[in-house]
Structure 1
Amino acid sequence: MRHDQFIGQVQARARLPDRAHAERACRATLETLGERVPEGLADNLAAQLPHEIGENLRRTEVYGGMGSGTGFDRHEFIRRVADRAGVKEPQAAYLVRVVMEVAAEATTGRVLDKVGESLPPDIRPLVLSGSHGSIE
């Protein structure tokens, strides 16, 4: 999947007003995910996404230099996405699901399953909703 197609899918599915909002949703979601999963796993996922989008998984220094694999729960995950995307937390949770649904369609193999397996049970449904249909 190409960058423009990925962003267009996020914009359409989330019913965002423009591509800038879709870009922000992708960046917020993937930067936060990159902070939460081990670095090697983030790199594996990034390699299967369009370059500009995958690079967001490698930007993990925003929250106090806490690098990849940092432990935090679902509430903190959603709060970080909300802060980065400039939205309220309920919309942030929805945007995470949309971005990850598109990411699931853009990837092959078990890379997204492995990402999900690396997350605690409270965050897993947010990330795997697109590939497993388990939206809470």
Structure 2
Amino acid sequence: MDFDEFTGAVQHRLELPGTGETLRAIRAALVPLGQRLRAGHAEDLAASLPMEIKWYLTGGVHEHGQRFDWPEYLTRVADIEGADRADAAYHARVIVDLVSEVVPDSDFQQLRDELPESWENLFEVVDAGGWHEHD
């Protein structure tokens, strides 16, 4: 999947009006996730993503392996995106679901294994069978 396909899928799934809002949502979801993950795991997860998206998990992160909980993650996502916490949580879940479709299963499982059980909310869309069109 290339950059345009990835951003187009996010924009469509989140029903965002433009590329700017879409990139802000992607950055908001992935930079704090990259901050939470150890550097090697962030690199593994990012390896199959488009180069411009990969940067949010790797190059855009100044300190990997930070220890913070799910509520703090949501605060960081909401602050970056300029959204309320409910929208930020939904956007992060949908973006992580798309990531799960793009990266190898072993890299996605590594993500799940590194995060504490209290982060299971991040995987709600994945665990529900993935994102689907709503009629």
Taking only aligned residues, the RMSD between alpha carbons, in angstroms, comes to 1.6
* Cα distance in structure 1, aligned partners of 2:126 and 2:106: 10
- Aligned position for 1:76: 72
Is 1:13 the counterpart of 2:9 in the alignment?
Answer: no
Q: Deviations over 1:51-73 (max 9, x none)?
A: 00011001223xxxxx1111111
1:121 counterpart residue number? 117
Distance in 2 of aligned mates of 1:130 and 1:54: 21
Hey, what does 2:61 align to over in structure 1? 60
Report the alpha carbon displacement of residue 124 of structure 1 after superposing the two structures with TM: 3.1
Counterpart residue number, 1:64: none
Structure 2 matches for 1:22-41, cutoff 5 A? 22-41=22-41
Structure 1 regions of 5+ residues with no counterpart? 62-66
Give TM-score, length-normalised by structure 2: 0.89
- The number of residues matched between the two structures is 129
Tell me which amino acid in the other structure corresponds to 1:8: G
Q: What is the CA-CA distance between 1:131 and the residue it aligns to?
A: 3.7
Match of 2:86 among 87, 90, 99: 90
Letter in 2 for 1:129: E
| TM-score relative to the length of structure 1 | 0.88
- The unaligned stretches of length 5 or more in structure 2 are 131-135
CA distance in 2, matches of 1:133, 1:51: 28
Identical pairs, percent: 35
CA distance in 2, matches of 1:15, 1:133: 20
Question: How far apart, in 2, do the equivalents of 1:120 and 1:76 lie?
Answer: 13
Shift of 1:14: 0.8
What secondary structure sits across from 2:71 in the alignment?
helix
- Structure 2 CA distance for aligned equivalents of residues 48 and 18 of structure 1: 24
Contact between 1:104 and 1:130, CA under 8 Å: does it hold in 2?
no
